[in-house]
A and B are shown apart, each in its own frame.
Chain A
Amino acid sequence: KQEVTQIPAALSVPEGENLVLNCSFTDSAIYNLQWFRQDPGKGLTSLLLIQSSQREQTSGRLNASLDKSSGRSTLYIAASQPGDSATYLCAVRDSGGSNYKLTFGKGTLLTVNP
């Protein structure tokens, strides 16, 4: 059974700092990995999706990497801003069996202080 772990559970940084969020998964047989952002009282916003054949994806100040063999992904946020404050969720889509559902980590709560 796939398990996804996110470290740290919470992170507080001053504005302008670069930061890294970590995600690990136990079964490397995945189709893709997605990073989401969740704001209080709102749904999930997809940030980046990395296919299993890819090593990284970039969008603006965000860069996500994937090392499938070691079961790890990182989300790098450059020059953090107070508006980046949210919970960041990592989810993987397995390549076998019921491969349409996502397995989520519990998230990292990020606070960027002005």
Chain B
Amino acid sequence: GAGVSQSPSNKVTEKGKDVELRCDPISGHTALYWYRQRLGQGLEFLIYFQGNSAPDKSGLPSDRFSAERTGESVSTLTIQRTQQEDSAVYLCASSPFEGSYNEQFFGPGTRLTVL
């Protein structure tokens, strides 16, 4: 079946503009995660959705970042008033259900460049 997909693959924006990134998880996966990978850094956890539970937003770096998920499907990550330090690859992952043994399957990422 299809893997995790993300769009756009690349996004160049001007400082101060808002951007929206999209993630389509693997069908049937109830858990969805967003990570950020800045140049030279490891992946950083941003936010986690599990079914209809309240999301864990503890990794969001500022209130300019927000994310939504519709049921157990598509998720969007929105960055308002983008800053140059927001430039990174944003990766989405999903897993079939929440449990200690489940692998996270990653999408190809969206490369965001803020000029």
Contact = CB atoms under 8 A, between A and B. Distances in A.
Interface of A: 4, 31-32, 34, 36, 41-46, 49, 51, 89, 91, 93, 95, 98-107
A100 B105 contact: no
Interface string B41-66: 11111001010000010110000000
Contacts of A46: 103-106
Interface residues of B, number: 29
B10 to A, nearest CB: 9
B14 interface: no
A32 B100 contact: yes
B31 interface: yes
B71 to A, nearest CB: 19
Contact of A44 (B41, B91, B98): B91
A102 B93 CA distance: 11
A41 B93 CA distance: 16
B27 to A, nearest CB: 17
Contacts of B58: 98
Contacts of A102: 35, 43, 45, 104
Given A51-B101, A93-B100, A99-B100, A4 B91 contact: no
B100 A106 contact: no
Contacts of B96: none
Closest 7 CB pairs of A and B: A44-B106, A31-B100, A104-B42, A43-B108, A101-B45, A104-B43, A43-B106
Given A43-B91, A102-B104, A89 B56 contact: no
Nearest to B104: A102
Which of B4, B45, B50, B98 has the largest count of A CB atoms less than 10 A from its CB?
Answer: B45
